[in-house]
Structures are given as structure tokens and as C-alpha cells.
Structure 1
Amino acid sequence: MSHEIRTPLNGVVGMIELLQLTDMSPPQRRYVETATQSSQALLRLVDDILDLSRIEVGRLELERIPFHLPSLIHDVRALFADQARSKGLTLWASVPDQLNLMLIGDKHRLLQILTNLVGNALKFTSEGTITVRGAVEQEIDKAIRIRFEVSDSGIGIPANKQAMIFEAFSQVDSSMTRRYGGTGLGLSIARQLCKMMDGDIGVESVVGVGSTFWFTVVMERGEAVSAPAPVARPEPAPRPRVEPTPRPVAPIPVAAAPAAAPAFVSAASRDFQTALERGGRDSVSILLVEDNPANMRVTQALLESLGCRVTPARNGLEAVGTYRENKFDLVLMDCQMPEMDGYEATRAIRQIEGFQGRRTPIVALTAHAMEGSREASLESGMDDQLTKPLTMAALTGKLLEWLIPVDARLS
């Protein structure tokens, strides 16, 4: 069912993002913004229902992959930067040097919890500041317990309602759903994910003052990173009405916005080009393998809007032949295709590379969000996975992750 839902959604979400790149009248831009919000809400609902169903039947399994924690925090900040600017909010993120290391755990589920909490903070805050911070809570042999906090200066939550918000389909009251939207599933899923990572989640809140959502997770410790955690000097910002707990961390503010904030896709394009220059690249060459014509048009247009050189292939067999005769910086590989599927094509490409002495990152494009799809991709020789429907944010983040050094991404 995941594949059947996500494949048409990819065309809808992608085409809406491409519309944002075109010249439109003010009414047309408002229509597109409404369509964007509606499609994103639908996608969140689909994701939440699929996650909840997997949790309830015990089929959701955590991954063990290495990742750089400051890079993940940077991704969260970048994802919500434009939304914060559009509301006139200050979005801060801080990471202590002690956490400038590689961790081993489920990066994607940790990102899911953080984006849920930051998204909620933005939703319920009309002025002031949102702060994201991490800190070491406990050293456990080769593991580490990390505490994250997301503080806001929003509407706050009554004391007698704070426990219920972590139950499925629960909100403070029905008027919240009508005014702010949402399904009441996000915090319930976050609680389950925290428990699966040997942690917990909670909230401290005062009505009319703001809230601080906190959660803990246990991750395996990887290697420390030699370079210091990326830090930007803070710009003057309004004083938050909820004072954060003092911690020895350096703030990473969102830069001040221009008078008229551009659409996210335009900002993503600009940021991507800046990262390319910092990483010593003029452009990148992508082999895009996709059999669905609508998805091909969407993904190719998104990539080209970022300045990528795109070579299309309509199936795995065509992809293998094209790869044999050309050099690419990265391959985006659909998994389900006629002639030869993405898994078989990847195995063939890895065999070619064995003779040619090179290895190119291959990222799976899949509409399957169920457990096991990522494992199948990795077992075939792919390096990573993007789940449809693709968004500019997810696509840009993945390209940066595989093509640009960390220090260039976070400068």
C-alpha cells in the first residue's frame, strides 16, 4: 500500500515545488502555497499512519548506521529556517564540542523526533524564539545517553493536559485541530521511538509563556571528529520568554532574512550552489534512473534547478549501459522498474566498477516506506535511500551528504 500511495504523491508534491520556481501573480502564488501546505499535511498523515501501524504490530526496527550529530542538527535547522523567517521567529541550534562525534544508531528516526518537535514549536509560536540544543546526559561504556531540548515562546500547554498529548490521536482540545491542524499522532510516535532507543520524552510548559519538550536517547559512540563543531556567531535576537537551561554550548543562529523571503526551492538552490563552491565543485553529474515518466520529469527538473547535470535512464538495463560509458558523481536509482530493476542494476554497476577501479554513490529512490526496503537497497550495493515523494529539502540534503565535505556543508 505504501508504494501505491507514494508514487502518485511524488508527482503532486514535485510539480508543486517546481511551480514555485516559476513567475506567478500574487494570487497564483497564494494558491500554490495552499497546495504545498495541503500536500505536506497529506504526506505527514500517510507517514504517521504507516509508522503507527508498524509500531502497533511490532514491525518497526531501528537501524544501526554511523552519522555525524552536528550535521543532523544542521539539517534540522536548515529544514525549518525559511518557515521561521516567514513568521518572524528566531531559530537557534546549539551543539557542545563534546557531541562533535560520529554516533551509531537510527539517524532517520532521531531526525523524525526532532523535526516533529521543532515543527510543533513553529506551529504554536507566533513571536519570539525557538531553541534546539543537545547535551551529554550520561556516559555508558561505549554508549552515550543524549538529552535534546526544543524550547519555544509559544502558547503553552495546561498542566492537566501535558500527559495526554503523548497519546495517539490526542490534542489539548478540538479547537487546536481546527486552528493549527495535525492528527495527534506525532508525539505518540515520538514517545514510542524514544522508548525503542532506551530513552524517554516529556514536557515542561506554562500557558502563555512557552514550552520545553525534552527527550533522551542512547546511541553507540563512534569516532570523534577532529574539526570543531561548526559554530556561527549569533546575531542580535529578541530575548526569549522562556529562559533556556544554561549549557556550555555555542549558539548557531539562523541568519537574518532579507526583506522578502524567497520560496524554499529558490533558497535551496542558492544554498546548494554555495556548498558546491565551498566543496571545490562547479557542478555535479547525476545519472537518474526512473521508469515513471511523471516522476522522471519531476526529479530531473528539481535536480536541474539545483544546477546538476542530469543524464536520464528509463530502466535498469539502460542505466547499466549508460554508466559503463560515462562517469557520474552520483546515481539516483529507482527500485521497481521493467527490463531490470534497481537492485539488479546496482549489482551490475558494482561489478563494472570492480574492473574500472572506481565507486560511485548510489542512492535508492523508493516508494516503499516499510521496514526491509532500506536493507534490500543496502544489500544490493546501494549506499543510501530516498523515500518518495521527493521534496527539494530531502533531495538537497542527500546530495550534500554524499557529494560535499562536512566542513563545506556547515560553514
Structure 2
Amino acid sequence: KASADALLEIINDILDFSKIEAGKMTLETIPFDFNRLVPDTLRTHALSAQQTGLELALDLDADMPRHLLGDPGRLRQILNNLVGNAIKFTPSGEIVVRVRLLQIVAGFAQLQISVSDTGIGIPREKQSRMFEAFEQEDGSTTRRFGGTGLGLSITKRLVTMMGGELSVDSEVGQGSRFTVTIDFAVDTDTSRDIAPDRPVSLAGRSILLVDDNHTNLAILSEMFERWEAVAIVQRSGDDALVYCKDETRPVDCIIMDYAMPGLNGFETAKALAQLEHYKDVPIIMLSSSGMPGDAQKCRELGIQAYLLKPAGREEIYNAVCSVLDRGRSGAGDVPIITRHSIRESARPLSILLAEDNMLNQRLALALLGKWGHRTQIANNGLEALELHEKGGFDLILMDLQMPLMGGFDATAIIREREKNGAPKIVIIAMTANALEGDREKCIAGGMDDYLSKPFKSEMFSKILKKYSPRDMPGSVPKIDHAALSERPEAIPVRAASESDFDYAAALAQSDQEVVGLIAAHFLDEAPRQMVIMRQAWHGADFEALQRDAHAMMGLLGNFKAVPAQQLAVEIDHESRTSRSERIVRLLDALDQELARLAPHLKVAATHAALNG
């Protein structure tokens, strides 16, 4: 497996480098949540850092604007390259990622992102060549650490393409610091701003911080000082236990690292529970790697919250507010607070999901379940009406194209029921069409809002929070609609340079978790789906063929698999119009494209499973 991963890394580096050198690399400008992207990206490296005995810390400027416009996929790639390199060349110590807001001028935020390590360092005379292709410290570096020597060169070129600068400062035996200075436009669309709940003031609250790493303690201390809380620092579980035994007045909250020499976090929590005056103090556990059984240990010990490191500033703030609001629980009394429950802190919604596609059902259930919502499935509009009549739902996610009865007709009947006294319910349209004017059609058809497929978990989460009972309808968010190409005359033929699957673009459009879930399911279902589509053709069931092609079109859009998606678009179009023998040739061509796509999807599914 390690050899396969190394080979994949080399291939991806060479492809990226070739694309940049040929001028084929393009950047997107889309809205993204910077304060979420950075900790989420670093968490994918936390386990590998911990396994090599390294501490991975994040120091994120509190004044950072949250929503920016740019290419989140390429920014993630830059961070991955710099942090991955730091882990590779640091045998012991720590890696610290610091983000500073330098200034905001004319709507652009100038950021400084630095990745510092305590690694082997780079001789000064070689630093000027570090960003050249195939350049490493010396020949032995490749033999010892692996890699192509392309990572930093690609990173440098990406930063330059984004209008930024990348520099290095290093000393042999002391470590290195790579610094990116880059500008992003600040996203001024206020519909994306969902203010985090801050139900508890931290002013004057006493917070005990327990961690053996000095940098982590300094970062946490600065956070709580900014929130006007009193931070008390202890460097080990044993020291924390001594402090708590001696202090008759307990602190308000304890934030504790799990992996510490001597008593680990769980052992310290167990010992604190034996102290009468500390048994009700809430504890937040921080860990670099969630391990099987950790949740059960938290329940048994009454630990209120469990966050993966490095945790973002907002996650820590909201976790502390939540546990102070609760107080400490007994074993198994209440659900453990995690970063997912913090992000969806509204009460769980009861959701009716009207969707006939099994993959979309599975994906929506995975995301909704992770966020704590309860979901019932209707496979068509008629089933949706039956379940709606029974009541008990807060919101309906309504697919527009379903067998027996579509989303528009089902919505019209529900709105008629409301005129006759049924409770008003929020209905969110879902469609893979993403054509200009679809949102307006949905609103005119009685729906409250619009969610385009493929899903992006962040936007899915936000639209649910927007329509939770605490945040009932406001303005409709802006939606990007990707216009589909007009029908060509011939069967689409791939260009030699055309890629089956652009993973970075897929991540920018969706995210790793979504892409991984879809890829795994698609690999299982695609062959069966092709058989069903051929059966529909032979049976002259063009309505079913069009519906299946439409679903395939939306699923392929998740992967930025442009050649295969275009074929599905053509089949969808032909099924509604000419219904000619051309469909057979299109199905054959789609089979070939899916065969080319399969190896890429296997990699994506495996990558997401390992980093999920």
C-alpha cells in the first residue's frame, strides 16, 4: 500500500506539473469558508503527525474574515504540500501553521500563511533552488524520504498563479519556515453569514488548559485572554491533578489533551471525577486521532466534548459555550459534543427526503445523520404526500424528477393542503439540472429554496440551519448555475488532453467526504445502472431512460468527469427528443468512459476513507 500511495503521489505531481507548464491549469473563483478550510485540511495530517511523534498546531488570526472568494481546492493543495513536506522532513518536535491577516484594502484581504517545523533544515546556499523542479536538499533526500522533488515547485507555481509569493527561511538542524503571502477577495454576500451561537459569555470564566506542548498552550491561552477568560495552564495530567486537589474553588471548564506523558487525558479525567469539588466540572478532550472506543470512554467518564486537533477557534469557543451551558453530565446522560454537532447546534430536524435515486438517498442520509437530524425517505412524490399527511416534519427535501409523481406536483398538493389548514412546511427543491431559471421556477412552484446537485456538504448544512426553527426563512442565497452545453451533432469524442476525473476540481465543487461517499457507491451501482438504461432502451421506455440518464448526469457532475457527463447529457436529450438509434452508440461510449473513470474513483474512495 505504501508503494502504491507513493506511486500515486508521483503520478499526481507529474500531471499537475505538466498541466501548469503547458498553461492548462485554471483557477476557480468561488466562495469558501477559510476558517473552516484550514483546520479541516490540517486534520487530514494529524494522524500521520502523531504517529511520528509530532505535534501539529494551528494559530489562526482571530480577525480573519471568514468568507473569501478564490480557489479552495488549490489553496488546500498548497497547504497539503507544505504540511506534508514538514511532516516528512521533521523527525521530532512540532509543526505550527500560523495565519495572520496583514491588511484589508479595497475589499481584498492580504494573508500570511506560514508553516514552521523543527526538522532537518535546509542549507542556506540551497534555499534559492528549493522551488525548482526535481530539486531536493541532495540526492540522498529522495532515497531517504521519497517523493519527486516536484511538490514545492508545484506549490510555488500555484501561489504565483494566485498572485502571491512563497518564501523559505531555514537553518540546518533547527528547522524551516515556509511563508505564503497571498490576497483573497472578501466575500460580501451576507446570505452566507450564519452567526455562530454564543449563548455563554466567557468573561471572567476560569479555564484550565492541560497540554504538554508549550505552543498549544500559548495558542489556547491567547484565545481565552481575547475572550476575557482566565486561562490556567498545566503541563501534564499529573500537574493538573495536583492543582485541582489544592484548589478549593473549581474552575469553570477543563480543556485537556489526550496524548500526554504520564497520565493521559482519559486517565486524568477519571482521577478528577473522584474529587468531590471537581466531579461536576465539564471537560473538553482534544485528540489528534479519533480512535475506536473513544466515544464510549467519553460517555463513561462524563466528558462533555471531544474535538479533533487542530481545532479551529470557533469550534473551541462554541464547545466551551455548549459545555458551560450544560454543566458536566453523568455517564451516558447526553450526547457528546463534537465538531459536527457544534456546526449544527440547532435542535435536530425531522426531515422528509423525497428522492428516488439510491445514491442520493445514501449520501443525504450520511450527511443528515452526521449532523444529528432524523430523516424519512419517500421514493416518489406519492410516497412523499402520504408521509406528509401523517405530519411531524420540519422540512422537506424535494427532488424535482421522480417516478409516479414529480416534485412540482407534490409541492402543489402540499401547498393546497396548507390552504385548508395543514401546518406550513419548508420545502427545499433538489435538482441536477442547474439551468438558468431553475431557481425561479422552483420559487414560482411553491418551494422555499433551491439546492443544486451535486451536494456540497457546507452549503447543504447552511441551508438546513437557515431553515431550522431558530432561523426561519430569510433571503434566498445566490446560487451558481453551470449552463449545460448545447447538443452537438456527433457522438462526443474525448480530446487526448481531456481528463477522466479532476479530483481537485471535484473537491472545490464538493468536498472530500462527499466525493468519497459518492465514489464508493457509484463504483457499486454504475454497472447495474447501465444495464437498466439499456433495458429501458430495448423496451422503448424513454421516460425511464431519460430519468436514469438525468440521474447519471448529476452523479458524474460530482467528479468533474466531463467526457462521461456530456454523454449522459446527450442520452437525456435524445430520450426526450429524437429517440433515435444514436442512443445505442451513446450508451456504448458511456460504458467506455465509465471504464476509464473507475480507477480514479477507486483512488478517491480510498483516499476519503483513510482521511474521513
Give me the TM-score of the superposition, normalised by structure 1.
0.62
CA distance in 2, matches of 1:262, 1:118: 20
Q: Is the 8 A contact 2:82 2:115 kept in 1?
A: yes
Deviation at 1:169, TM superposition (A): 1.8
From 199, 210, 226, the counterpart of 2:164:
199
Q: Is the 8 A contact 1:60 1:371 kept in 2?
A: no
From 313, 337, 348, the counterpart of 1:281:
348
CA distance in 2, matches of 1:288, 1:85: 43
Correspondences of 1:342-353 after superposition (within 5 Å)? none
Q: Is the 8 A contact 1:288 1:310 kept in 2?
A: no
CA distance in 1, matches of 2:103, 2:343: 37
Counterpart AA for 1:195: T
Q: Determine the structure 2 residue equivalent to 1:16.
A: none
Can you give the 5+ residue segments of structure 1 that lack an aligned partner in the other structure?
1-34, 334-341, 399-411
Q: Determine the structure 2 residue equivalent to 1:390.
A: 604
Q: Cα–Cα, structure 1 residues 68 and 191, in superposed 2: closer, same or farther, change >3 Å?
A: same
* Secondary structure, counterpart of 1:75 in structure 2: helix
Give a deviation string over 1:12-69, Cα, whole Å, max 9, x none. Answer: xxxxxxxxxxxxxxxxxxxxxxx2x445434433432332222112122221112222
Correspondences of 1:10-409 after superposition (within 5 Å)? 35=1, 37-223=2-188, 235-239=210-214, 250=223, 255-257=257-259, 274-275=341-342, 278-281=345-348, 320-321=401-402, 324=407, 355-359=445-449, 361-364=451-454, 368-369=501-502, 385=558, 388=601, 389-391=603-605
Deviation at 1:95, TM superposition (A): 1.6
CA distance in 1, matches of 2:13, 2:52: 26
Q: Cα–Cα, structure 1 residues 103 and 39, in superposed 2: closer, same or farther, change >3 Å?
A: same
Q: Determine the structure 2 residue equivalent to 1:402.
A: none
Q: Cα–Cα, structure 1 residues 113 and 319, in superposed 2: closer, same or farther, change >3 Å?
A: same
Deviation at 1:191, TM superposition (A): 0.6
Q: Which is further off, 345-354 or 58-67?
A: 345-354
Q: Is the 8 A contact 1:99 1:135 kept in 2?
A: yes
Counterpart AA for 1:186: G
Q: Cα–Cα, structure 1 residues 250 and 45, in superposed 2: closer, same or farther, change >3 Å?
A: farther
CA distance in 2, matches of 1:371, 1:183: 19
Counterpart AA for 1:60: M
CA distance in 2, matches of 1:351, 1:392: 39
CA distance in 2, matches of 1:256, 1:217: 35
Deviation at 1:228, TM superposition (A): 8.2
Counterpart AA for 2:348: R
Give me the TM-score of the superposition, normalised by structure 2.
0.44
Q: Is the 8 A contact 2:115 2:178 kept in 1?
A: yes
Q: Cα–Cα, structure 1 residues 219 and 75, in superposed 2: closer, same or farther, change >3 Å?
A: same
Q: Cα–Cα, structure 1 residues 73 and 393, in superposed 2: closer, same or farther, change >3 Å?
A: farther
Counterpart AA for 1:238: N
Q: Is the 8 A contact 2:68 2:185 kept in 1?
A: yes
Q: Is the 8 A contact 2:122 2:172 kept in 1?
A: yes
Q: Which is further off, 114-123 or 92-101?
A: 92-101
Q: Identity of aligned pairs, percent?
A: 29
Between the two proteins, the alignment pairs up a number of residues equal to 338
Q: Is the 8 A contact 1:138 1:145 kept in 2?
A: yes
Give a deviation string over 1:383-406, Cα, whole Å, max 9, x none. Answer: x956744358858999xxxxxxxx
Q: Cα–Cα, structure 1 residues 311 and 118, in superposed 2: closer, same or farther, change >3 Å?
A: farther
Deviation at 1:221, TM superposition (A): 2.0
Q: Cα–Cα, structure 1 residues 262 and 141, in superposed 2: closer, same or farther, change >3 Å?
A: closer
Counterpart AA for 1:321: M
Counterpart AA for 1:41: A
State the structure with bigger RCO (CA 8 A, min sep 6), 1 or 2: 1
Can you give the 5+ residue segments of structure 2 that lack an aligned partner in the other structure?
225-254, 260-264, 267-286, 296-307, 309-336, 380-398, 412-425, 456-498, 511-552, 561-600
CA distance in 2, matches of 1:213, 1:98: 22
Task: Please provide the CA RMSD for this pair.
Answer: 5.3
Q: Determine the structure 2 residue equivalent to 1:13.
A: none
Give a deviation string over 1:183-235, Cα, whole Å, max 9, x none. Answer: 21111111111111211101111111111110111111234968589999864
Counterpart AA for 2:211: P
Q: Cα–Cα, structure 1 residues 80 and 330, in superposed 2: closer, same or farther, change >3 Å?
A: farther
CA distance in 2, matches of 1:249, 1:364: 40
Q: Cα–Cα, structure 1 residues 40 and 276, in superposed 2: closer, same or farther, change >3 Å?
A: farther
Q: Is the 8 A contact 1:95 1:250 kept in 2?
A: no
Q: Cα–Cα, structure 1 residues 156 and 319, in superposed 2: closer, same or farther, change >3 Å?
A: farther
Q: Is the 8 A contact 2:121 2:171 kept in 1?
A: yes
Q: Cα–Cα, structure 1 residues 344 and 363, in superposed 2: closer, same or farther, change >3 Å?
A: closer
Give a deviation string over 1:338-370, Cα, whole Å, max 9, x none. Answer: xxxx65899989966763514454453995218
* Secondary structure, counterpart of 1:183 in structure 2: coil
Give a deviation string over 1:54-104, Cα, whole Å, max 9, x none. Answer: 211212222111222211222123222222222232211112222133211
CA distance in 2, matches of 1:140, 1:80: 33
Counterpart AA for 2:148: T
Counterpart AA for 2:401: V
CA distance in 2, matches of 1:353, 1:117: 45
Q: Cα–Cα, structure 1 residues 107 and 371, in superposed 2: closer, same or farther, change >3 Å?
A: closer
Deviation at 1:153, TM superposition (A): 0.9
* Secondary structure, counterpart of 1:121 in structure 2: helix
Counterpart AA for 1:357: M
Q: Cα–Cα, structure 1 residues 69 and 169, in superposed 2: closer, same or farther, change >3 Å?
A: same
